[in-house]
Amino acid sequence: MESREDLKSILAYLPVLVRSKNLFWPSKVVEALKEMAQGPDHSRVNSGEVLFVAIRDTRSSLSLLQPLAPFASEGYALFFDEELIGALLACAFFCLFPASNRGANHLPTINFDELFASLYEGYSQKQENKLKCIVHYFKRICSCMPVGFVSFERKVLPQDRHPLFTSYPEADFWSKSVLPLCAFEVHSLGFIEDQSANALEVDFANKYIGGGALHRGCLQEEIRFMINPELIAGMLFLPSMADNEAIEIVGAERFCDYKGYALSFRFAGDHADKRHFDSFGRRITRIVAIDALCSPGMKQYALKYLLRETNKAFCGFIDQSKYCQYKGLFQVKGLHEAHLYPDENDHTSRNHLELNEASSTTVETNQGASVSLPALGNSDGEGKDLPGIATGNWGCGAFGGDPELKAIIQWLAASQASRPFILYYTFGIDALQNLDQITQWILSHEWTVGDLWNMMVEYSSQRLNGRTDLGFFAWLLPSLTSHELSNTN
């Protein structure tokens, strides 16, 4: 147990004992949890500051000498003193606990209905339903602890260390790309989390991951954190993202069903997660958190911010582990401007490029040379095909982004990341009622990533300079918009 790589970094910080290669809760920890479970009137733990002191004292009694982060006390205060924090902090604690031997017989018995009953009073219906999700989660894990793992990965596009680039992707990188655009499937009904294609699911994230999950927020990200509460653990140690960062989470189980959105959000009962497990014991649920510009207004049409949004999505969509196979090749001078495209002799569909050990991909450098590369995929044969992307109106709604532009940006990023398809959930908004016809028209004309990028940049320049007030779709295909689309509706 002590030699397990996945525990090395956290085992010394956990209030557990290791005996015969198994983990056990020390009796002092069990007693401390029982005390706190009886509520603040009994335990006197009535603020984040007092909670931190209680945890510090428990650690000291177990001779856990490794110090917590310098500002840990402020972090505990934030988690505890905001609305819902008492429940959610405990939730995060359970999420962080190692999977091995964490059955119900090692946990104190807690009556969660009694513990949280008083919390419902005075809350709005939206907040009450968020609490119901957490109470349900506690009931489930204390009667049958989940097994397996949840993995969190901070994905970065650094300026000088990424195997694909010798510099951060600039406009030339996108404008010269000859990669084909991936398949695009529009869904006017349904939700990202219900997709059944094992796609990478996009979290419309706040810069501070989780957004308002711990207080009043109840939009796409906050709802996802309520129905998959293990995501909350990421808020403890992956609190924020830079412009060149994304966060990918694999294995988070879904525990709740729900109805509605924002003010109409309602807990709708238990959800039995049927997704299979991978070889690492994780649910095959892949979620990537990417944060869009907030209230960008007209600046979202400036090249600087088009690059920011496209590179942010690209960072989230790229599979860094598989591209590492190309590390040596991408050190060739000028190869950061190279573009992957199917070999001319490969008859695989442009929009469903199969990446497996038997196939090859051609890289063309900016000097005109071409090299045949081995296919993407793990050496053990797993993951030969990259999953697609399940997304929707990222950065729109409360963040104020242009939905037509954001759909195109995500399409560009997914295609450049060699994803085979996008499942796009429009949630029925009027601005995207013609999205399917537009994307299929573009695909029928075999546009590349560079083609679509250049058209988007040209449109955005005209929009920024006041030379057009049309939406991107109407500007791009005026005759199609006015005639062909009307005939297909």
Q: Residue with structure tokens 């990202």?
A: 192
256-269: average pLDDT: 94
pLDDT for the residue numbered 367: 34
Check whether 305 has a pLDDT greater than 80: yes
Check whether 366 has a pLDDT greater than 50: no
Check whether 489 has a pLDDT greater than 70: no
Check whether 2 has a pLDDT greater than 90: no
Q: What percent of the chain has pLDDT over 70?
A: 67
Q: How far apart are CA 271 and CA 227, in angstroms?
A: 9
278-300: average pLDDT: 94
Q: Is residue 227 part of a domain?
A: yes
Q: Is residue 349 part of a domain?
A: no
24 and 109 fall within a common domain: yes
Task: Indicate the pTM of the whole model.
Answer: 0.72
118 and 197 fall within a common domain: no
Q: Is residue 346 part of a domain?
A: no
109 and 167 fall within a common domain: no
155 and 139 fall within a common domain: no
460 band by pLDDT with thresholds 50, 70 and 90: very high
Of 418, 484, 403, whose CA–CA distance to 449 is shortest? 418
Q: Residue 238 has what DSSP assignment?
A: -
203 and 123 fall within a common domain: no
Coil, helix or strand at residue 248 = strand
Domain that holds residue 111: 5-143
Question: Which segment, 168-177, 362-371, 386-395, is predicted with the most confidence on average?
Answer: 386-395
73 band by pLDDT with thresholds 50, 70 and 90: confident
Q: Is residue 333 part of a domain?
A: no
Could you tell me if 291 and 257 are in contact, meaning their C-beta atoms sit under 8 angstroms apart?
A: no
What's the number of CA atoms in the CB half-sphere (13 Å) around residue 37?
16
Q: What does the pLDDT look like over 22-62, one tens digit per residue?
A: 767 788 888 887 787 677 778 887 777 787 888 888 888 88
Tell me how many domains the chain contains. Answer: 2
Summary mean pLDDT of the chain: 77
CB atoms within 10 A of CB 189: 8
pLDDT for the residue numbered 364: 35
130 and 233 fall within a common domain: no
Q: What percent of the chain has pLDDT over 90?
A: 44
For the chain, helix, strand, coil in percent to 5 are 45, 15, 40
Q: How far apart are CA 137 and CA 131, in angstroms?
A: 10
How distant, in Å, are the alpha carbons of 143, 260, 313, 337, 456 from that of 416?
A: 45, 34, 10, 12, 15
55 and 168 fall within a common domain: no
Check whether 414 has a pLDDT greater than 90: yes
Q: Is residue 91 part of a domain?
A: yes
pLDDT for the residue numbered 20: 67
182 and 254 fall within a common domain: yes
Q: What does the pLDDT look like over 324-365, one tens digit per residue?
A: 443 433 333 333 333 333 333 333 332 322 222 223 333 333
158 and 132 fall within a common domain: no
Of 88, 119, 143, which closes a domain? 143
CB atoms within 10 A of CB 333: 9
Length of the chain: 489
198-216: average pLDDT: 91
Q: Using alpha carbons only, what angle is made at residue 286 by residues 228 and 394, rounded to the nearest 5 degrees?
A: 85
198-218: average pLDDT: 91
Could you tell me if 416 and 174 are in contact, meaning their C-beta atoms sit under 8 angstroms apart?
A: yes
Of 114, 143, 172, which closes a domain? 143
Lowest mean pLDDT across 210-224, 229-243, 335-349: 335-349
What's the number of CA atoms in the CB half-sphere (13 Å) around residue 115?
25
Q: How far apart are CA 313 and CA 260, in angstroms?
A: 27
193 and 248 fall within a common domain: yes
pLDDT for the residue numbered 55: 80
124 and 208 fall within a common domain: no
